């Protein structure tokens, strides 16, 4: 069809559409060309993607020789692991060394796979931690019971002498023979610190109380020999000791067994050992390794990891003594009052317990 001028109109894409449809099509096409609300089309940016938060790092722990169910030092660390898992829902990777030579390889494995922090239990792993921290400077490490001076290592140590002082007070008040005993593990400053505090606590009750003591050995194996612990305890019982404390890790299990068998009192350490022989464990002096492990894990999870040394004593919950249903009948009201007074005085600084590491040899030797 032509118009009066003789021209044939061009076909359009909207041909065959109704009038309203043609208008809608035209408006839709123009929408891509007309600036919106005063902005040029080139200024309109696509929506920004919301970043996915980084997953929290998974911690790892390397237990000392004796395993996490040693009933003592390692088991206290395991309690901290369990608490962290329960409270955060996080996984924790664990490794139990059978000998010290396995420590470094375990830490390298964990560091290479991105676990953080990697916490080692025990002074005997100090060399491995130091080496691993040098090889993996971006990784975060922790160690319990030793100080490592490195920019990516947090060290947790304890005032063992303060907890031992309370044990000495209770032992001196409980003894009927006037002789109390001490069985240590490896003969190292940490154990000597414990012995001195024990002597000082006993002396604060009576200068007439005699303390007999033995160390189990001079290698880390001294902490995993219950039979030897039992033997040393029986020798002290033969010397008249009727209360014996063990500061010997797994070896101490044999000490407590000997005390129970002889009908005398033992004192546990590191973890709560009162239930091992109810009625025969006077108390347990806990080194709160569980709290140190939990805190080290949580610090990394919350982004507040700091290298350096944390020293934990009676005043800040690093050391304490246990009173529960298993030893309630053994602790008199006078003994409880004396122990609580010692805790208060140590915490307030009124009693300063001698530290053989920083203050020199024990004055009671």
Q: What is the pairing mode between strands 179-186 and 153-158?
A: unpaired
What does the DSSP assignment read for 202-268? HHHH-TT-EEEEEEEESSGGGGS-HHHHHHHHHHHHHTT-SEEEEESGGGHHHHHHHHHHHT-EEEE
Positions of the chain with pLDDT under 50: 1-42, 44
- Whether 154 contacts 141, CB under 8 Å: yes
Q: Tell me the three-class secondary structure of 283-337, residue by residue.
A: EEEEECHHHHHHHHHHHHHCCCCCCEEEEECHHHCCEEECCCCCCCCCCCHHHHH
Q: How many of the other CB atoms lie within 10 Å of CB of 135? A: 13
Q: What pLDDT is attached to residue 49?
A: 57
Q: What pLDDT is attached to residue 213?
A: 98
Name all domains of the chain by residue range, CATH numbers in brackets.
60-158 (3.40.50.2300), 160-286+332-348 (3.40.50.2300)
Q: What pLDDT is attached to residue 51?
A: 61
């Amino acid at each position: 069809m032509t118009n009066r001028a003789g021209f044939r109109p061009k076909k359009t894409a909207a041909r065959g559409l109704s009038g309203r449809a043609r208008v809608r099509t035209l408006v839709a096409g123009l929408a891509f060309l007309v600036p919106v609300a005063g902005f040029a089309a080139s200024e309109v940016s696509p929506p920004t993607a919301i970043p996915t938060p980084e997953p929290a790092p998974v911690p790892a722990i390397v237990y000392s020789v004796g395993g996490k169910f040693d009933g003592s030092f390692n088991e206290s660390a395991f309690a901290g692991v369990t608490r962290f898992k329960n409270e955060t829902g996080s996984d924790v990777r664990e490794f139990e060394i059978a000998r010290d030579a396995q420590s470094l390889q375990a830490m390298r494995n964990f560091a290479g796979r991105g676990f953080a922090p990697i916490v080692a239990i025990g002074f005997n792993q100090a060399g491995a931690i130091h080496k691993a921290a040098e090889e993996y400077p971006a990784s975060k490490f922790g160690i319990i019971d030793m100080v490592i001076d490195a920019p990516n290592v947090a060290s947790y140590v304890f005032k063992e002498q303060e907890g031992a002082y309370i044990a000495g007070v209770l032992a001196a008040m409980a003894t009927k023979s006037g002789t109390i005993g001490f069985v240590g593990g490896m003969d190292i400053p940490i154990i000597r610190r414990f012995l001195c505090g024990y002597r000082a606590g006993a002396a604060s009750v009576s200068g007439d109380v005699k303390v007999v003591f033995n160390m189990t050995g001079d290698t880390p194996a001294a902490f995993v020999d219950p039979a030897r612990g039992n033997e040393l305890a029986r020798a002290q019982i033969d010397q008249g000791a009727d209360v014996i404390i063990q500061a010997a890790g797994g070896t101490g299990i044999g000490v407590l067994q000997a005390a129970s068998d002889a009908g005398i009192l033992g004192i546990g350490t590191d973890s709560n050992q009162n239930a091992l022989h109810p009625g025969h464990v006077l108390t347990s002096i806990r080194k709160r390794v569980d709290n140190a492990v939990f805190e080290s894990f949580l610090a990394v999870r919350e982004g507040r990891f700091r290298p350096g040394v944390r020293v934990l004593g009676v005043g800040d919950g690093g050391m304490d003594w246990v009173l529960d249903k298993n030893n309630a009948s053994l602790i008199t009201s006078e003994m409880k009052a004396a122990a609580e007074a010692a805790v208060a005085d140590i915490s307030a600084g009124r009693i300063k317990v001698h530290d053989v590491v920083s203050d020199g040899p024990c004055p009671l030797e």
